[in-house]
Amino acid sequence: MTTATQLGSQIRAARNGANLSASKLSRMVGVTPPTIASYESGESIPTADTMVRIAEVLGIHAFEVDGYWFTVTRKEKLTPARSGEQLTLDFTGEYAFSKATVRLSPGRINISFDGVTPIPTHKVS
């Protein structure tokens, strides 16, 4: 089976499981019914954005292709900092970022990263 047919069969199975017609799914996703049919038949593969919308509507969080699981999540768009802009931090507190947590207290900074062994607390002088 090709990647397109594997994805298409999973989309069709999830749509049928949700008791949605291809027409109804197409309206919810924002594509035409023939487009949904082309995905389900394996004639084409949805764009990443369309794949996320299909996954959200059908409640699918992962697809299996060739024995590998691929998760579908929408990445949060980050606004780049303007030139000269600084992040203002209180000197006591905890700040969580997408991949790290920074804990500040007088004289100490502790940084821990998601999925990585935490960095030991360092004394700040």
Residue 9's contacts (CB-CB under 8 Å, 6 or more residues apart) are 1, 40, 42
Which pLDDT score is estimated for 114? 61
User: Which residues are 110's β-sheet partners?
Assistant: 103
Query: Quick count: other Cβ atoms within 10 Å of Cβ 39?
Result: 26
Q: What would the pLDDT profile of 20-68 be if each residue is shown by its tens digit? A: 999 999 999 999 999 999 999 999 999 988 998 999 999 888 888 888 8
Q: What's residue 124's pLDDT?
A: 52
Exposure string for 16-27, b = 16+ CB within 10 A, e = fewer = eeeebebeebbe
- Please, what are the domains in the chain? 3-71 (1.10.260.40), 93-123 (no CATH)
Q: Residue 87: what pLDDT?
A: 57
| pTM, rounded to two decimals | 0.59
